[in-house]
Amino acid sequence: MKLKILEMGDTRAKILLTGARPSLANALRRTLTADLPKMAIEDVEFHLGPISDEKGKTYESITPLFDEIIAHRLGLLPIPTDIELFSYRDKCESCSGEGCPNCTILYNINKKGPCTIYSEDLQLVTQKIKGIKSKKYEDKFKIKDRSIPIMKLGKGQALLVYATAILGTGKEHAKWKVAHGVGYKYYPIIDIDNEKCDRCESCIESCPLGILKLARGKITAKNIEDCTLCKACVDACERKAIEVEGDESKILFQFETDGSWSAKAALKYALTILENKFTEFGKAVSKLK
């Protein structure tokens, strides 16, 4: 199999797989969606009772939403993940699952209404972690998308919570899912016979993505990679002047991340996971008699 990068952004990637079967592309899809480790908020502790500000004004510790809904929304925030610094809590050798800086990130929110609470209001509780200096801790684990709305507080209302983020995978819960919109298809082949074509433009009108156009008296295709192989243009052409097929030797693969991983890092780690799985499977098969 050969891999060619067609697009690689911070959170979006499109690649071309040559010499790969759909089964392998599907294995990569499942690995990206289910097996990548990610930090997400698991436990949220809510302060109960009155909350006072610096001037002594008292606020009620109530919100328009149930605590469970707030905790659910916090759990879906994309926490930056560095698997070289953290381990799974249940496998942490430092604390044996109790929770420590080597397996846990602590956050808090302390806001008083009236206001809208955004993801930027999730503040880090600085901890000492082996391998990273304290002054860089906050920049490394602050949520990159600062404008995700969480909830609104009314006049006299306040929210004080402490949240704990730990590692998990998408197969356990959607909040630990790194990649989204993961899909693949055969590379489109659009063959237009302009000798048969009478330039009625019915194929152009039928294409939902506007891929076909009339230029210099001929029907041509643009942005071929966007074609979904729906064949609406084939059905619309009465003269059968256009054919659309998928190249079975090439697969277009694309995905996006939620921001907890970069697209490049997610792809590289997913391929590493796949390689390890295939190696283990090969060793298991070789032991069979």
What's this model's pTM, rounded to 2 decimal places? 0.85
d(CA 5, CA 163): 38
Q: Which pLDDT value is given to residue 119?
A: 94
pLDDT digits (tens, 9 = 90+) for 63-104: 999 999 999 999 999 999 988 888 999 998 888 888 888 889
Cβ-contact 117, 150 below 8 angstroms:
yes
Is the pLDDT score of 132 beyond 70?
no
Q: Dump pLDDT digits (tens) for 210-248.
A: 999 988 888 899 889 999 999 999 999 988 999 999 999
Nearest CA to 180 out of 253, 74, 258, 251 is that of: 258
Pick from 203, 177, 220: which is nearest to 31 by CA? 177
Mean pLDDT of the chain: 90
Q: What are the pLDDT digits (tens) for 9-51?
A: 999 999 999 988 899 999 999 999 999 999 999 999 999 888 8
Q: Are 96 and 75 in contact (CB under 8 A)?
A: no
Q: How far is CA 288 from CA 98, 212, 278, 281, 284, in A?
A: 40, 55, 16, 11, 7
Q: What percent of the chain has pLDDT over 70?
A: 96
Tokens matching residue 211: 């891929």
Q: What is the pLDDT of residue 199?
A: 87
At residue 37, the 3 state secondary structure works out as strand
Tell me which residue has tokens 């990130």.
105
Predicted local confidence at residue 134, as pLDDT: 59
Checking if the pLDDT of 208 tops 70, the result is yes
Tell me the domains of the chain and their CATH numbers: 2-34+180-255 (3.30.1360.10), 38-176 (2.170.120.12)
pLDDT of residue 131: 57
